[in-house]
Amino acid sequence: MATIVVTGGSSGVGLAAAKQFAARGDEVVLVGRDPRRLADAVAQVDPVAHFRADFESLDEVRALASELLAGFPRIDVLANNAGGMVDDFRRTADEFEATFQGNHLAPFLLTNLLRERLRGARVVNTASRAHMRGRPDPGRPEGDPAAYNRWQAYGAGKSANILFAAEAARRWPDVFSVSFHPGVVRTNFGAGRTVRLFYKYAPFLVTPEKAGELLVWLATAPEAELVNGGYYVGHTLTTPAAWARDPELAGRLWEASAEAVNK
The Cα 165–Cα 112 span in angstroms is 12
Predicted TM-score (pTM) above 0.85: yes
Residue 238: helix, strand or coil by DSSP? coil
The Cα 123–Cα 103 span in angstroms is 15
Termini Cα distance of the chain: 31
Q: Which whole-number Å values give the CA distances from 165 to 144, 155, 159, in the listed order? A: 26, 16, 10
The length of the chain is: 263
Residue 87 or 263, more confident = 87
Range of weakest confidence among 53-62, 112-121, 143-152, 189-198: 189-198
* pLDDT at 196 (0 to 100): 45
For range 37-63, the mean pLDDT: 98
pLDDT band, very low/low/confident/very high, at 237 (cuts 50, 70, 90)? very high
Q: Which whole-number Å values give the CA distances from 91 to 95, 155, 168, 218, 262, in the listed order? A: 5, 17, 27, 33, 18
Q: Which residue is catalytic, options 148, 154, 199, 201? A: 154
Residue 66 CB contacts under 8 Å (≥ 6 apart), including other chains: none
For range 62-90, the mean pLDDT: 96
Q: b/e string for 34-70 if b means 16 or more Cβ within 10 A?
A: eeebbeebbeebebebbbbbbbbbbebbbebbeebee
154 is catalytic: yes
The Cα 93–Cα 84 span in angstroms is 17
User: Which DSSP string corresponds to 75-108?
Assistant: -SEEEE------SS--B-TTSSBHHHIIIIIHHH
Rg (CA), the chain: 17
pLDDT band, very low/low/confident/very high, at 187 (cuts 50, 70, 90)? low
CB-CB contact of 10 with 29 (8 Å): no
CB-CB contact of 130 with 151 (8 Å): yes
**pLDDT tens track for 216-228:** 999 999 999 999 9
Alpha helices in 172-202 (DSSP H): 193-201
For range 18-31, the mean pLDDT: 98
* pLDDT at 169 (0 to 100): 98
